[in-house]
Structure 1
Amino acid sequence: MSILSSFVWSVADTLRGPYSDAEYGSVILPFTVLRRLECVMAPHRETMAEIVAAHEGEQQRRTHLKIRTRSADSAGLSFWTTSDYTLKKALQDPDNLAANLIDYVGGFSANLDVFKSFDFENIIRTLDARDRLAQVARHFEQIDLSPDAVSNADMGDLFENLIYRFAESANDGAGQFYTPRDVVRLLVDLVYDEDTDALRERGTVRSIYDPTVGTGGMLTVAEEHLHDLNPDASTALYGQEINPRTYAICKADLLIKGQDPANVRQGDTLVVDKFEDRRFDYVLSNPPFGTDWKAIESDVKKEHVRGGQGRFAPGLPAVGDAAMLFLLHVASKLRDVDENGRGGKAGIVLNGSPLFNGGAGSGPSEIRGHMLESDLVEAIVALPNEMFYNTGIATYLWILSNAKSEDRKGKVQLIDATGLGSKLRKSVGSKRVGISDESREAIVRAFAGTQNEDGKSAVPVKVFSNRDFAYWTVTVERPLQLRFQCTPETISTVTEHKKLGPIDGLGVALDAFGDAVYLNREKFNKALGKHLGDRGLTLTPAQRKTLLQTIGVHDDTADYCRVASGKSKDDIEPDPALRDTENVPFGWGGHPKTHEALNETVQAYFDAEVKPHVDDAWIDWDKTKTGYEIPFTRHFYSYDPPRPIEEIDTDLERVVGEIMELLREVES
């Protein structure tokens, strides 16, 4: 594949000069698509011409062509061209090459509108004007892209490799549209694992959807794997893609496979779900990492508040990262559970932030809560770093299901596959590590709960209850205790204060008040009020409050400050500076892992962990929030004790000795 991709891309040498590096892909991609279509149509051109001549309607032509071209290896063609041209024939008339190619492309059936997304007619005219059209056409005419030479899976690899090269040459997020095949195969294996027996049944029909479909690589791998399990299985592939070039490639690729071209639609999935009325057996997605949704903020927020029924109703993440919006979308597209207990399954590639970002009550925490409380998260797999072409950060596969088996209900499986990466002989972008077939099988066995002969899993696995990731954030208050004294320093602070300084005569009045110490705010306030009144100074309630806040300083020996009408302990005023929070896990101290156990669990935690250290603290129950976090790394952390001090001393003495020996050599 690397050799083929390099050969296809080598036409860039012809383009160098009239075209910049960033423009190469805009020429190479549509010509690659055209050549692939041409090679696929080649054995059927006579049949195609007969059907076009015999039938006028698009639907009639499509139906008859599909029937006539169907074979054991192909679902049949559902597109055609009314033009007699091929690249070879067009090149035979060099004086009219541009017109011939435009006629060729314009003759394709209406369902093959992908060349409009490439603006191919304009590309042809520009190549002709820059005297490069014949060379480029001749280059592609020599490449064999027939299905016998290049399988659908390999063609998908080629398209994505070219997309990668294009993005890299344009310095435009290289690898953004390219999901490595080892990752895709692992994701597909995990999603299919529990359904393997059902997929082998006769008459199997499955729908597969990718909301960030790119060039369709995930759909291709998923379809081929399903056909490996059951050659007679029928698949319906669906996808939505925002980028016009990758959308065009995907649509052409699915057309070649005999899929319905209407099942691939262009548009931003987060703005408009082009398959709003459909749910699917399988959903696969690798959304772009770290992209913000500021440009579509109003659309997303409208759906968030849409009567609680929108995709994003459970919560909104920070505007700087759309990952959890894609997670919600994927979850919303799982088919409903039928009378046989079969529902939908999904696999989505995410970075680490959806596991833990946002505290209790935040949008991300609420989204995690929705996923866990709805029992949608089946497993999360940590991948090795440096697995992707455009990033080396930690990545995770989330496996979702709305119809878990009995032994998985209420549970989440965490699988640490970070140690199973294999170094590549040659890195591609940021990708320096891959997952071998052996490692992939080991991960799938760990997911399935299959052990080795020694009774252990080859991959670290831990299983948790959904509510093991739930906690309450509790606000702990301590009393406000203030000491008041009108010292020269405090008076200076008052006179320099933005709001108090302009009050005429206040500084002089405070200076005359004296420097007596008050440990009770009410007594100080009463004495100060009388003192200021005697001097004709009247402060508003807001000014009086600001003055007390400016003069008062914390003192553990001072009386508790109380609210105006309070006499009981419940009316003690809290000190904002001493306010703290505690995270109390569901089930702490053996209490039930339920929302109803809030009061007893938190009170028991407070009495055991807080009260012994700060006797005058209390809980502000009105500020209690429920949060959800999946601290993946913490659960698999392995402590490595430091080396013994004797061993460190020995190494130091050795190094010092080597340094002294070098110094003696220098001195001599």
Structure 2
Amino acid sequence: LGMGYVFEELIRKFNEENNEEAGEHFTPREIIELMTHLVFLPVKEQIKQGTWLIYDNACGSGGMLTESKEFITDPEGLIQSKANIYLYGQEINPETYAICKADMLIKGEDPDHIKFGSTLSNDQQNLQFDFMLSNPPYGKSWENDQKILGVEKKGSNSTCNDSRFSVGITSKSDGQMMFLLNTLSKMKTDTPLGSRIASVHNGSSLFNSDSGMVAIRKHIIENDYLEAIVALPTNMFYNTGIPTFIWIITNKKSEHKKGKVQLINTTNEEYFSKMKKSLGSKQNEMTKEHIEKITKLFLENASNKDCKILDNEDFGYTKIIIEKPKSIEALKDDEKFAKLKDKDKILEKLEQLEKNPQNFKDRKEFIKFLGVKLKKSEENLIIDSDKTNNTEKIPLKTDIQNYYDTEVKPYVKNSWIAWDSASVGYEILFNKYFYTYTPPRKLEEINNELEKLEKEVQDLLREIVQ
């Protein structure tokens, strides 16, 4: 075992110097340590005995797997479990796969539990797991996997025959949430503990409007799987400084957490320290004290300046399209509209609306006002239903009609709600919940500073002239 840790230290040194892509980076040990605390400590009493399976679907050199087992079984640790722990993983990179297999062999683990190949298009772990920890590649194309899976585009959505991805399929430019779907498909449903997942993602996972990502977030939140999200400090990874977040997911929430999501903000300097010497993009680090402080926030589950407890519905919205007639000028320039037999009557009615604006209950009421019979395609010639400019996101807890009456109707005349366009989605806007107002500087203070700078410039000019 000691030899295994020597080997792992060599791996760490190699990875620090050789990981180059933002989506393929070695996970710093303190991030793994934080993840193990968040995943295992809430259930530490249940895992002191028994048999438990741990899985990483983008396992790299296997650090998350071995650190997880060490955290659970350390005789001087926080859990001190005597349980049987089995490690499983899959890795696409041949070099890191070989390193992981070798590390497992040296540490007395079963190297056959580590599989080679793409987790997305060639999944080789047909088991369900108790715990899953992962730092999948984010912002990286999975176009080749899509081709192998036979992904087909149908309207704004994509489908494939792999049941793991029936919830939704993200765009080919970023496959990070597909790794999360893979872990969801491997959750245990018939055990008291269920499964617990910790997965690292970038900010795109929280709010990207890609239809696949929206569908995945909706599935996770509406099934009450999302327990917490931890915002990590920037510059924590060796070759990327982008903001990152740990998702904590479980299908067996404790009673007091049901219907709730915990957001933890660790981006202020209370939760990390500057490194004396940077390692690539890694300028910040977490000490054991920082990890303990964050873990305490998580376990106490109480709202304060760095922790918010919110209802699942707080992240939800109904997206609707606001429709209205096109302008008279636009219609007069439209060759297709010019061919309508009732075009003059329609223009006459629209001129009435310009003089006496009114709002309508729906499209049907507007067409009735026009007093003409139109096919659907002809209606679309007259109505402006541009999804880009006429879309509103209404919080789930807000009545749609009331929102329209107060926030839209006074400013968009002759409009109505396209009720058939309504769709529910979810987004997690971290800054919305942790924003701190900073008052602007006083004008007097700014003016004094400008005068001081002006005086300094004049003094410098005098020196040059002399």
What is residue 613 of structure 1 aligned with on the other side? Answer: 411
Secondary structure (helix, strand or coil) at the match of 2:423 reads strand
Partner residue, 1:587: 397
Post-superposition CA distance 1:520-550 (Å, at most 9, x none): 9325999xxxxxxxxxxxxxxxxxxxxxxxx
Match 2:41 to one of 173, 177, 193: 193
Asked whether the equivalents of residues 121 and 146 of structure 2 are also in contact (C-alpha less than 8 Å), the reply is: no
Once the two structures are TM-superposed, the CA of residue 187 in structure 1 deviates from its matched residue by 0.6
C-alpha distance in structure 1 between counterparts of 2:347 and 2:138, whole Å? 57
Which one of the candidate residues 174, 180, 197 is aligned to 1:346?
197
In structure 1, the partner of 2:155 is none
Structure 1 distance, partners of 2:139, 2:228, is 22
Code of the residue aligned with 1:617 in structure 2: it is S
Counterpart mapping for 1:231-250 below 5 A: 232-250=82-100
Name the structure, 1 or 2, with higher relative contact order (CA <8 Å, separation 6+): 2
Alpha-carbon contact 1:378-1:411 (below 8 Å) kept: yes
Could you tell me how far apart the structure 2 residues matched to 1:617 and 1:661 are? 63
Q: 1:638 to 1:337 in 2, by over 3 A?
A: farther
User: Cα offset for 1:478?
Assistant: 1.6
Using the TM superposition, give the Cα deviation of residue 305 of structure 1 relative to its aligned residue in structure 2, in angstroms.
4.2
Does the 8 Å contact 1:190/1:447 carry over to 2?
yes
Q: CA deviation at 1:570?
A: 9.0
More helix by share: 1
Does residue 659 (structure 1) correspond to residue 457 (structure 2)? The answer is: yes
Structure 2 CA distance for partners of 1:237 and 1:553, relative to 1, 3 Å? farther
Matched, 1:575 2:384: yes
* Structure 2 Cα separation of the partners of residues 253 and 280 of structure 1: 21
Q: Identify the structure with the greater strand proportion.
A: 2
2:118 to 264, 268, 275: 268
Aligned residue in 2 for 1:369: 218
Indicate the SS of the match to 2:179.
helix
- Distance change >3 Å, CA 666–CA 609, structure 1 → 2: same
Give the 3-state SS of the residue equivalent to 1:414 in structure 2. strand
1:632-666 Cα offsets, whole Å, 9 max, x none, are 12211112111011111111111112222222233
Q: How does 1:1-12 map to 2 (within 5 A)?
A: none
Q: Which letter maps to 1:466?
A: N
How far is 1:196 from its partner? 1.5
Q: 2:308 aligns with which of 462, 465, 475?
A: 462
TM-score (norm 2): 0.85
Aligned length: 437
Counterpart residue number, 1:414:
263
2:273 & 2:407 partners in 1: Cα distance?
46
Q: Return the alpha-carbon distance in structure 2 between the equivalents of residues 462 and 484 of structure 1.
A: 49
- CA change 1:570–1:342 in 2 (3 A) is farther
Give the C-alpha shift of residue 194 in structure 1: 0.5
1:313 alignment partner in structure 2: 166
The answer as to whether partners of 1:209 and 1:237 remain within 8 angstroms in 2 is: yes
1:293-343 residue CA offsets vs partner (Å, 9 max, x unmatched): 111113345597467x711111111210111111111222222242xx311
3-state SS of paired residue (2:165): coil
The answer on whether the counterparts of 1:337 and 1:344 sit within 8 Å (CA) in structure 2 is: no
Deviation, structure 1 residue 631: 0.6
Superposed displacement of residue 239, structure 1: 0.7
Are the structure 2 counterparts of residues 659 and 403 from structure 1 closer, same or farther at C-alpha, using a change threshold of 3 Å?
same
Distance 1:658 1:377, change over 3 A: same
The residue aligned with 2:375 is: none
2:431 to 633, 649, 657: 633
CA deviation profile, 1:376-413 (whole Å, cap 9, x unmatched) = 11110000001111211000101111111001111110
Q: Summarize the Cα distance change of 1:301–1:355 in structure 2 as closer, same or farther, 3 Å threshold.
A: farther
Match of 2:293 among 410, 421, 442: 442
5+ long unaligned stretches in structure 1: 1-73, 75-146, 500-519, 527-551, 589-600
Inter-partner Cα distance in structure 1 for 2:9 and 2:351: 69
Compared CA separation, residues 642 and 610, structure 1 to 2 (3 A) = same
Task: From 55, 67, 71, give the equivalent of 1:225.
Answer: 71
SS in 1 for 2:164: coil
Structure 1 equivalent of residue 339 of structure 2? none
Match of 1:256 among 81, 106, 126: 106
Equivalent position to 2:186, from 311, 333, 338? 333
Indicate how the Cα distance of structure 1 residues 385 and 524 shifts in structure 2: closer, same or farther if over 3 A, else same: closer
Normalised TM-score (structure 1) = 0.60
Q: Distance in 2 between matches of 1:302 and 1:576?
A: 30
Tell me which residue corresponds to 2:242.
393
The CA distance in 2 between the partners of 1:330 and 1:285, in whole Å, is: 9
CA contact (8 A) 2:322 2:385 kept: no
Give the alignment partner of residue 278 of structure 2, picking from 427, 446, 449: 427
Partner of 1:100: none
Take 2:166 and 2:286, find their aligned partners in 1: how far apart are those partners?
36
CA positional deviation for 1:199: 2.6
Distance (Å, rounded) in 1 between the aligned partners of 2:33 and 2:443: 48
Pairing 1:536-555 to 2, within 5 Å after superposition = none
Matched-pair contact (CA < 8 Å) for 2:238–2:280: yes
Aligned partner of 1:482 among 321, 324, 328: 328
Q: Does 1:288 align with 2:122?
A: no
Query: Aligned to 1:640, what secondary structure does the other structure show?
Result: coil
Q: Is the 8 A contact 1:481 1:555 kept in 2?
A: no
SS of residue paired to 1:197: coil
Q: Is the 8 A contact 2:159 2:169 kept in 1?
A: no
Q: Which residue of 1 aligns with 2:176?
A: 323
The structure whose Rg is larger is 1
Q: Which amino acid aligns with 1:609?
A: E
SS at match of 2:320: strand
Q: Give, in whole Å, the separation in 2 of the partners of 1:211 and 1:474.
A: 37
**What is the rounded CA distance, in whole Å, between the counterparts of 2:212 and 2:113 in structure 1?**
32
**Deviation per CA, 1:103-123, whole angstroms, max 9, x where unpaired?**
xxxxxxxxxxxxxxxxxxxxx
Q: Which moved more, 1:623-632 or 1:391-400?
A: 623-632
Judging changes above 3 Å, is the alpha-carbon distance between structure 1 residues 582 and 377 closer, same or farther for their aligned structure 2 residues? same
Q: Distance in 2 between matches of 1:291 and 1:175?
A: 6
CA distance in 2, matches of 1:377, 1:197: 22
Alignment deviations for residues 216-256 of structure 1 (CA, whole Å, 9 cap, x no partner): 11111101111122252221011111111111111121122
Give me the whole-angstrom Cα distance separating, in 1, the residues matched to 2:415 and 2:330: 23
- Residue of structure 2 equivalent to 1:129: none
Measured after TM superposition, the shift of residue 372 of structure 1 is 0.4
Give 2:167's aligned amino acid.
P
User: What is the rounded CA distance, in whole Å, between the counterparts of 1:245 and 1:483 in structure 2?
Assistant: 64
The answer to whether 1:381 aligns with 2:179 is no
Counterpart of 1:252 in 2: which secondary structure? helix
Partner residue, 2:10:
158
Contact 1:199 1:230 in 2 (8 A): no
Alpha-carbon distance between aligned partners in 2 of 1:620 and 1:346, rounded to the nearest angstrom: 39
From the superposition, tell whether residues 191 and 558 of structure 1 become closer, same or farther in structure 2 (CA, over 3 Å): same
**Given that residues 242 and 266 in structure 1 are in contact (C-alpha distance below 8 angstroms), is that contact kept between their aligned partners in structure 2?**
yes
